Amino acid sequence: MAREKVLLVRAPNLYKSEQWKKQGVLRTPTNMALLGAYLRESGPYEPEILDLETYNLNSIPEIAGTISSRNSRYVGFTTLTPRFPTIMRIAQELKTQSPNVTTIVGGPHISGRPQDCRYPGIDYGITGEGEQAFLELLDNLRQGEDPSEIKNLVHKVDGNVVVNPRRQFMKDLDSLPYPAWDLIDLSQYKEPAFFGQEPHAGVFTTRGCPQDCVFCASKVTWDRRLRYRSLDNVMGEFEDLAKRGVRNLYFYDDQFALKPERAIDLCNRMIQTGIDFRYVVQIRADSVNPELARVLKKSGCLSAAIGVETGNEEMLQRIRKKETKDEIRAAVTMLKEAGVPITTSYIIGLPGDTHETIQQTLEFARELNTQQRKFMLLTPVPGTDVYNLAVQKGLLDPDDLDQMENTTFYDRTAVNLSDVSTEELLRYQDQAYREFDKQTPK
């Protein structure tokens, strides 16, 4: 049986902020590589990944032409909110150039705003965990069957968007294949702050996060459910990457060490391989203990990223962070004592932020004095509490494509939920970067 071509596309970010350009980051499309592996293993499909972030294309017709030239019957797009307007325009132009193409959109934006599948050019959407629904949709379309009952599917009936119920999450993440790294050129993906110009791979050892922070979109896709891969399965993937010449890992897990004992076990297994792994993790402050800090250092951790968010104790509770400043201080101290470099991130413009609370955030950043610091503007992602609050206050029009494109962490903001003017928020961000870029942490 001939294999059906399926093109998986990451659209370019046509509106990169100057701060993002300065960082020079290009991370691997790991979810697409995983979906490609799943389709190839599970059905008569020949997946291809077209990562337009690695191309220098700036016009919609040119981008659509590049997609059309691949001669694929099915084209799937992964969607983040600021890129959705671009994807919508690409899909519309693609339909003009290749009318018989079937377009499918998935990813965080569609999980939070499935009704955006109403735009012309978009045939189907997939919400939540996408592998099984995507495969079932392709099977139905290939066999000429009606796909309208597929769970997690978004489709149209007489021009109206129908959002099907969600399916149960996969119980066994080990049943998924390793990402199809052969579908991308790993040498193109860089994280200069940590790995210089060496290639790296983004990896998941879990899916989901049980926390309920008001600004985070993880729960939109994963419903606050946390699932783990077995460490045997994880280490098999790491060793496979090492054979491909990749030893730099960027953990995409929402929280690397929610079970500290599991994280310690993983670090020890990485040490035992004798492979010189180097990696970056995201970690909650209240998960850190001295033993974890010690094995992070020994196993090659180049940075433990902690979301501090704010330096105001009341704001920490208001955003449902469920951590205290003392817990954050203690985690930073333990990591520093073990010699683990730290990246702390802060949000400017949280709901109710004032000049005083923002100054407290900047002062806390000075106190923690970590190797890297990120200061991000509050970003209202569909499905989150801050997004819903912005809509309720009339500050955000869900159908305003310009606001979608302004949903970014740097240089501009879609909405302002603080008690400080937008111009002042931007000045605070600029001030923070100018000040902290000059400092040498101790």
Q: For 163-188, write each residue's pLDDT tens digit.
A: 999 999 999 999 999 999 999 999 99
What is the predicted pLDDT for the residue at 442?
A: 53
Same domain (yes/no): 376, 232? yes
The one-digit pLDDT tens for each residue of the chain (442 residues) are 679 999 999 998 876 545 555 567 899 999 999 999 999 999 999 999 999 999 988 899 999 999 999 999 999 999 999 899 999 999 999 999 999 999 999 999 999 999 999 999 999 999 999 999 999 999 999 999 999 999 999 999 999 999 999 999 999 999 999 999 999 999 999 999 899 999 999 999 999 999 999 999 999 999 999 999 999 999 999 999 999 999 999 999 999 999 999 999 999 999 999 999 999 999 999 999 999 999 999 999 999 999 999 999 999 999 999 999 999 999 999 999 999 999 999 999 999 999 999 999 999 999 999 999 999 999 999 999 999 999 999 999 999 888 888 777 888 888 999 999 999 999 999 999 999 876 655 5
- Buried b / exposed e over 94-108, threshold 16 CB at 10 Å, is bbeebeebbbbbbbb
State CA 252 to chain mean position distance: 7
CATH number of the domain that residue 18 is part of: 3.40.50.280
| The pairing of beta strand 124-126 with beta strand 201-203 | unpaired
Residues 89 and 203 in one domain: no
Q: For the whole model, what pTM was predicted?
A: 0.94
Determine, yes or no, domain membership for 297: yes
Let me know whether 323 and 384 are in one domain: yes
Three state DSSP letters for 403-439: HHHCCCCCCCCCCCCCCCCHHHHHHHHHHHHHHHHCC
Phi, psi of 12 (to 5 degrees): -75, 155
Asked which of 148, 163, 178 is the last residue of a domain, the reply is 163
CA distance 363 to 370: 13
Question: Do the domain assignments include residue 173?
Answer: no
Q: Are strands 206-207 and 227-228 parallel, antiparallel or unpaired?
A: antiparallel
Task: Verify that 201 and 288 share a domain, yes or no.
Answer: yes
Inside any domain, residue 79: yes
- Do 250 and 145 have their domain in common? no
Same domain, 25 and 96: yes
Rounded Cα distance, 32 and 270, in Å: 25
**Domain boundary pick from 163, 198, 213:** 163
Q: In this predicted structure, what is the pLDDT of residue 166? A: 97
DSSP calls for 294-351: HHHHHTTEEEEEEEEE-S-HHHHHHTT----HHHHHHHHHHHHHHT--EEEEEEES-T
Residues 249 and 305 reside in one and the same domain: yes
8 A C-beta contact, residue 409 and residue 377: yes
Q: Is residue 184 part of a domain?
A: no
Cα–Cα nearest to 298, from 329, 277, 323, 320:
277
Shared domain check, 156 and 211? no
Burial 386-402 (b: 16+ CB within 10 A, else e): bbebbeeeeebeeeeee
In 191-287, which ranges are continuous DSSP H helix? 192-195, 218-222, 231-243, 260-273
pLDDT at 402: 82
Sign of the Cα torsion 320, 324, 330, 333 reads positive
Rounded alpha-carbon distances, angstroms, from residue 48 to 43, 70, 181, 182, 441: 14, 9, 11, 10, 44
Phi, psi of 118 (to 5 degrees): -70, -20
- Of the three residues 96, 128, 163, the one that is the final residue of a domain is 163
Q: Domain range holding 301?
A: 190-437
One domain for residues 77 and 204:
no
pLDDT of residue 22: 59
Pair (65, 136) in one structural domain? yes
DSSP 3-state assignment of 5? Answer: strand
- 129 lies in some domain: yes
- Judge contact between 304 and 281, C-beta under 8 A: yes
Does the residue 171 lie in any domain? Answer: no
271 and 318, same domain (yes or no): yes
Q: What is the CATH number of the domain that holds 405?
A: 3.80.30.20
3-state secondary structure of 230: coil
Based on the fold, state whether residues 289 and 401 are members of the same structural domain: yes
* Residue 219 included in any domain: yes
Decide if 172 is inside a domain: no
Query: How many domains does one find in the chain?
Result: 2
The amino acid sitting at 340 is: V
